[in-house]
Structure 1
Amino acid sequence: MFFQKDIETMPRADIEKLQLERLKRLVKYCMDNVPFYNKRLTEAGVTADKIKTLSDIQYIPYTTKADMRDTYPFGLFAVPMKKITRIHASSGTTGKPTVVGYTANDLDMWSDCVARLITAVGANDETIVQIAFGYGLFTGALGLHYGLEKIGAAVVPTSSGNTEKQIMLMQDFGTNTLVSTPSYAQYIGEKAREMGVIDKIHLKLGLFGSEGCTPEMRDQIEKTLNIFATDNYGMSELMGPGVSGECIERDGMHINEDHFYAEVINPRTGEALPKGSEGELVITTLTKEGIPMLRYRTKDITQINYEPCKCGRTFARMAKPRGRSDDMLKIRGVNVFPSQIESVLMGFEQIAPHYQLVLTRENCADHLEIKVELSDKCSDILDNFPRLEQLHKDIRHGMKTVLGIDTKITIVGHKTLQRFQGKAQRILDLRNK
């Protein structure tokens, strides 16, 4: 199914022609309306007239999260406040939040982008969707909310938390679609089983985002909730959810290329990489009015496939991010992504999909402890030393095979590790304590 089929199936040449036209217009727009960009583009010698091909984007300097914080709160806005219809912001847990503003046109474009992606995975006007994202300055809840309403879905804005009530409403309202983080979806499923009502909820579709989800974790969620789980991608600096998302083929996430131009670069050198390479995703917002972004460094590690999809869409597809360049752990000289650890753990049926990574430093060397939790069906292993020892040995071997380093494995009882109603916080870094 399509929401805007003529756009979503454009030939590649037409997509790139449109992107070039919009990129030129964007450069002029930023020069004329954002002093920050005027200064940066002038120093780089870049004008709209110098953008002859899409590859000329390489001459435009990158924008980073640090730039947004340095211009806090409205220094990157391109329109006066009287034209701003809504303001969102990041959590600001590491300092001042990153603030973004939307014009009325931005909000309409945003809901169109979300509508395309949710239609691609089967949502329609018969969808009854429970949004278990936290409402507020976070872009996730309202971003999905307006896109779902645009296709005629019935939206139940429960927000996050109060899990027993979430489950009660799923039963009473006949909810068939869930919006949440993957980790919270898993927790809802576990809680429903614990309450003895898993057979009384009838979810069919999961629209998940806000945190990474390996295919192995997705399989666990589908098994727990008996749903078709899908990923969508976005961040507040770019717009929110709706930058890209899966279709029913789940062979990469379609980028809304008429609104976003994507590149992949070497995260260390900033050098643009050839098509198909894995590296850091860089996004330019081609149509945003409130706060345009030129070559924003997302820090997400992915690769892009430009071949048409089996679903009929021609927009390029980005792979599920393998991790973030700033989330990558360097343990005794070895680069480790949390997604690699998750993939190994999900291969053990005795282990629940909950884990914690504890980083410590001893004798000037970093050490990684992986705390894993037994599943409810295998909780008796703690009382069976031979089985426990063998499971410990198998997990440790699996980790060493994939990561290339030895790690400490700690196996704990079922429901010991913390559950999260929002984005899961799986890394506990004690190296500076």
Structure 2
Amino acid sequence: MGKYFNPAIECADRETMVAIQNEKFIQMVASCYNNIPLYKERMDELGVKPEDIKSIEDLHKLPFTYKQDLRDNYPYGMLAVPRTQVSRIQATSGTTGKATVVGYTQKDVDSWAECVARALTAAGATSDDVIHVSYGYGLFTGGMGLHYGAEKLGATVIPVSSGNTKRQIDILRDLQSDYLCCTPSYAMYIGETLHEMGLTGDDIKLRGGVFGAEPWTPQMRREIERLLGIKAQDIYGLCEVLGPGVAFDCCEQNGLHINEDHFIAEIIDPDTGEVLPEGTPGELVFTCIQKEAMPLIRYRTRDIATLTREKCSCGRTLVKMTKPAGRTDDMLIVRGVNVFPSQIEKVLLDLKMTSPNYLIVVDRVNNMDKMEVQVEINQQMFSDTVRNLEQFEQEIKEALRATLNISAKVRLVEPKTIARSEGKAKRVIDNRKLHE
């Protein structure tokens, strides 16, 4: 396997890609209008018919789709094909409401596998490699997505799933895995556990990892690379849109290439819905032009990102998106200031003396918002003097104030105090909701 999994697509010139997108886009809009009542109703309200859509330049004429639409049409109301043609059902966890159910035809599953195979190839994986998948298996798309992508690549897959971390390390060593696939927070936990066992990255064969499903900073990437002795690559996706493989890192590690033959990306103003020019940060919106079972028109992801078509040294011509800088719906507003957990994580990792484990607790006392950041210190710091700990606590507090423009209480906690996660890390407890 070479540098690209599908060079004809990944390195296509703009004219070729636009032609591919136009053909698929027109067919997808007609399918949505004719088969999904929600889209027929929304398009009729706007006075738009499928025959009015001539190219992707007409995308702005179409309605947005929201996560609530998928919940309101639970379980099969968003299918564009009969349920009997659906070969796979995946779903979100439903932790913030009713689960979002997503259907796939067999062609959709094959397309998904190719998208992930492109990501693995961009990370340097080949058909000769052993790929250790520690994403959870089940309705969550992580495990199945990376599993099928690795098989599409022709690699050997170890479907370990998450949990039992010491056993995971034994498997990594014994089966000589080349690539690790899991959430970045779990990769960090595996790395910490490896060193607690008296081992280092030299004791495992891993040379790379593909991590996603939660936000992570460049500093966290460097820490994972240090702990495991690998190159850590990002993969992006949403269950509703496809799963992992919507976009992926290349060798530059500076933005993720979007699989444009499957998805058209836009950046909009989250308040007005206005499409923003290239290079402007805003809410990321995807239109699925390849999916048969459940295509989505202008799906609002709530992720904040930027798009760019600047030439990439890897040779891919696919548009790039920045790593999401946060989400419009998990953004904290504390005393009128927008706060993203990723900002706090960057501050802590820049200071280097803390572990990458932290917890943000927000509460409202006497009608005033209070924010506390619990920071887990490393073992070396834990054995330090009280005076030094107080000084370091103050240093964190000042660094957070400089970044966030608001003050926060900082509380240092002992190593291993903050719960580790084998899936998505829980970074925020907002107690204000309990009092509303």
TM-score range, shorter chain: over 0.9
Q: Does the alignment pair 1:424 with 2:411?
A: no
Q: Does the alignment pair 1:237 with 2:258?
A: no
Aligned residue type for 1:84: V
Q: Distance in 2 between matches of 1:69 and 1:52?
A: 30
SS at 1:370 equivalent: strand
Aligned to 1:388: 389
Q: Which moved more, 1:67-76 or 1:364-373?
A: 364-373
Q: Does the alignment pair 1:228 with 2:213?
A: no
User: Per-residue deviation at 1:20?
Assistant: 2.0
Q: Which of 50, 62, 76 is the matching residue for 1:48? A: 50
Q: Distance in 1 between matches of 2:153 and 2:58?
A: 37
Aligned to 1:128: 130
Q: Distance in 2 between matches of 1:55 and 1:329?
A: 35
Q: Does the alignment pair 1:272 with 2:270?
A: no
SS at 1:264 equivalent: strand
Q: Distance in 2 between matches of 1:330 and 1:153?
A: 45
Aligned residue type for 2:28: L
Aligned residue type for 2:423: G
SS at 1:238 equivalent: coil
Q: Which of 296, 306, 327 is the matching residue for 1:293? A: 296
Aligned residue type for 2:417: T
For the 8 Å contact 1:308–1:315, the answer to whether it is kept is no
Q: Does the alignment pair 1:174 with 2:191?
A: no
Q: Distance in 1 between matches of 2:378 and 2:178?
A: 26
Q: Distance in 1 between matches of 2:278 and 2:225?
A: 32
User: Per-residue deviation at 1:349?
Assistant: 2.0
Q: Does the alignment pair 1:160 with 2:162?
A: yes
Aligned to 2:317: 314
For the 8 Å contact 1:222–1:229, the answer to whether it is kept is yes
Aligned to 2:29: 27
Deviations 1:135-156 (A, max 9, x none): 0000111111111111111110
Aligned to 1:137: 139
Aligned residue type for 2:116: V
Aligned to 1:97: 99
Pairs within 5 Å for 1:189-228:
189-198=191-200, 199-228=202-231
SS at 1:323 equivalent: coil
Aligned to 1:401: 402
SS at 1:324 equivalent: coil
User: Per-residue deviation at 1:202?
Assistant: 2.2
Number of residue-to-residue matches in the alignment: 431
What stretches of structure 1 move > 4 A for 4+ residues in a row? none
Aligned to 1:61: 63
For the 8 Å contact 1:249–1:311, the answer to whether it is kept is yes
Q: Distance in 1 between matches of 2:320 and 2:82?
A: 35
User: Per-residue deviation at 1:196?
Assistant: 1.4
Aligned residue type for 2:96: T
TM superposition score normalised by structure 1: 0.98
Aligned residue type for 2:65: T
Aligned residue type for 1:61: P
Aligned to 2:84: 82
Q: Distance in 2 between matches of 1:278 and 1:95?
A: 28
User: Per-residue deviation at 1:53?
Assistant: 4.1
Gaps of 5+ in 2: none
For the 8 Å contact 1:308–1:316, the answer to whether it is kept is no
Q: Does the alignment pair 1:261 with 2:264?
A: yes
Q: Distance in 1 between matches of 2:60 and 2:310?
A: 23
Q: Distance in 2 between matches of 1:215 and 1:408?
A: 25
Q: Which of 181, 186, 189 is the matching residue for 1:187? A: 189
Q: Which moved more, 1:68-77 or 1:127-136?
A: 127-136
SS at 2:351 equivalent: coil
Gaps of 5+ in 1: none
Q: Which moved more, 1:264-273 or 1:9-18?
A: 9-18
TM superposition score normalised by structure 2: 0.97
For the 8 Å contact 1:299–1:326, the answer to whether it is kept is yes
Deviations 1:389-433 (A, max 9, x none): 211111111101110111100001111111000000110111133
Q: Which moved more, 1:313-322 or 1:198-207?
A: 198-207
Aligned to 1:356: 359
Aligned-residue RMSD, C-alpha: 1.1
